Amino acid sequence: MALHNQEAQIIEEIAGGEYERQPVPKSKLKGWKSFIGMYAGEHAAGTEFMIGPLFLTAGVSAFDLIVGLLIGNLLAVLSWRFFTAEIAVKNRLTLYFQLEKICGKKLVTGYNLANGILFCFLAGAMITVSATAVGIPFDMPMPKLTDTMPNGITWIVIVVIIGAVISIVAARGYDTVTKAANWMSPIIVLAFVACGVVALNQLNVNSFSDFWNIWGEGSEPFPGQIKYTFWHVMIWSWFANAAMHVGMSDLSVFRFAKEPNAGWTTAAGMYVGHYMAWIAAALLYAVYLKSGEAQAYLAAGEAPPVAPGPLAYNAIGVFGIIAVVLAGWTTANPTIYRAGLAFQAILPKLSTFKVTILAGTIATIAGLFPAFAMKLLGFVALYGFILAPVGAIIVFEHFFAEKAGIVKNYAEKANISFNKSVLFAWAISFGLFYYISLQFDIFLSFVTLPAWLLCGFLFLIFSKYWNKK
């Protein structure tokens, strides 16, 4: 999820400490064109090399994948436009300052801790992705879908080196992060297109029906994976970025927009990255599945490994290795930087450099364990499920505070650091639906929307009865 071109200046201003605790002034507002490149670059990166193949391991059909992604990504764009951008342009505040006004400083500290740790795990998965490419010249055994622990000393050394380099670059500040991303992002998008074209040729695809038949009616999921239907694909792709849209994290981005219509620019990310790139990466894996090595795994009742490095190398050679390394890099870099900022809010006496190195260290340790990357579909679902309900509190307060007769920005006006209405609303909605997911073996993304809605309603109810006017 790389940042891109001049548009990264938007995030740079946020990260650089400008207007963190005040509305963005009119002189700093940006038109919709400023957001297109940023979203296209941010959503065609390291995660895409993993997610595309993982859909195939879940036995999706052509209809499930192609139509499910089409609709799911549209729902994500609508969420950004009508929730995130709408509220961001109205208030022009960062997520953290908006939450502080509603929840109080102590609760925001807890949110920052959860956000920072989850960011580190995501960055760790991307370090794993880059390591699969760097390990090719060393004939390194690639991690399997079922692997949880490091598979050898070569793996450990490569992950530690990649993690150290990425952490140091991130710790040098957002100027360095964005400069690195600026020239990497177009290369990565080009690589996805090239991989898709080459894979179609290798699969002897000469018509749309040939393309459709790559997935056909679907198949049984690979050992250790769950079966994905149309609903799994649609709902999962809608909530893959739940923390950013319905979770309101991108308030910090769209507060710079001149008007809410800038929210439509997220379509560039959804349909370049979460549509074209996912399908291109799935095609790479489809080629690999026809190989003797993959067939041997399947014959033995094992799932063939999903290693982005070798997949891209088989399609476009050395350029593929470079693209996978860069893709993992451009996702992990800003992710570690953002995790550092979240930790700095908790540890304000530590410098940005030190907290970013701390975040990078946690991410590198996570990267040693392939499970974070190999179970990326499940991790992303969990990430969204944990953070999305927090956004419901902002959304419900924005649209329904007056009708419900509650005080907006209650923590600020009551001068409290802990709004129990927020904590209880989140804890009950999270606990109830996480229990339902575990108890009845329900796909976690299926309960994200109910948890989000319940959290919003409970917040209004608790605020009505507990908060003084």
The pLDDT score that the predictor gives to residue 460 is 96
State pTM to two decimals: 0.87
The one-letter amino acid at 54: L
3-class SS of residue 257 = strand
Distance between CA atoms of 429 and 447, rounded to whole angstroms? 10
Q: What is the mean pLDDT of residues 216-220?
A: 89
* DSSP letters for 383-448: HHHHHHHHHHHHHHHHHHHHHHT--TTHHHHHT-S--HHHHHHHHHHHHHHHHHHHHTT--GGGGH
Q: In the predicted model, is pLDDT for residue 334 greater than 80?
A: no
Spatial neighbors of 327 by CB under 8 A, at least 6 apart, are 2, 45, 46, 48, 49, 126, 129, 130, 188, 191, 308
Residue 174's pLDDT band (cuts 50, 70, 90): low
Distance between CA atoms of 380 and 403, rounded to whole angstroms? 34
Show the tokens assigned to 202: 């290798």
The pLDDT score that the predictor gives to residue 254 is 87
Distance between CA atoms of 58 and 73, rounded to whole angstroms? 19
Residue 328's pLDDT band (cuts 50, 70, 90): confident
Q: What is the mean pLDDT of residues 440-469?
A: 92
Q: In the predicted model, is pLDDT for residue 93 greater than 50?
A: yes
**Measured distance between the N- and C-terminal CA atoms of the chain, rounded to whole angstroms:** 43
The pLDDT score that the predictor gives to residue 23 is 73
Q: What is the mean pLDDT of residues 39-45?
A: 77
Burial 242-253 (b: 16+ CB within 10 A, else e): bbbbbbbbbbbb
The pLDDT score that the predictor gives to residue 253 is 79
Phi, psi for 257 (deg, rounded to 5): -80, 145
The pLDDT score that the predictor gives to residue 347 is 81
Show the tokens assigned to 306: 């999903």
Ranking 18-27, 325-334, 402-411 by mean pLDDT, the lowest is 18-27
Of the candidates 375, 367, 369, 373, the residue with the CA atom closest to the CA atom of residue 159: 367
Q: In the predicted model, is pLDDT for residue 82 greater than 90?
A: yes
Domains of the chain: 8-388 (1.10.4160.10)
The pLDDT score that the predictor gives to residue 97 is 84
Q: What is the distance, to the nearest Å, from the Cα of residue 231 to the centroid of all Cα atoms in its chain?
A: 20
Q: In the predicted model, is pLDDT for residue 79 greater than 90?
A: yes
Q: How many residues does the chain have?
A: 469
Q: In the predicted model, is pLDDT for residue 106 greater than 80?
A: yes
The pLDDT score that the predictor gives to residue 233 is 95
Distance between CA atoms of 264 and 253, rounded to whole angstroms? 13
Residue 292: burial class (beta carbons within 10 Å; 0-12, 13-18, 19+): exposed
Most confident range (mean pLDDT) of 139-143, 163-167, 377-381, 450-454 is 450-454
pLDDT tens digit sequence for 234-270: 999 999 999 889 999 888 778 888 899 999 999 988 9
Q: What is the mean pLDDT of residues 11-24?
A: 56
pLDDT tens digit sequence for 111-158: 888 888 988 998 899 899 889 988 888 888 888 888 888 888 999 999
Q: What is the mean pLDDT of residues 84-95?
A: 90
The pLDDT score that the predictor gives to residue 376 is 86
Q: What is the mean pLDDT of residues 45-72?
A: 91
The pLDDT score that the predictor gives to residue 18 is 52
Phi, psi for 369 (deg, rounded to 5): -105, 105
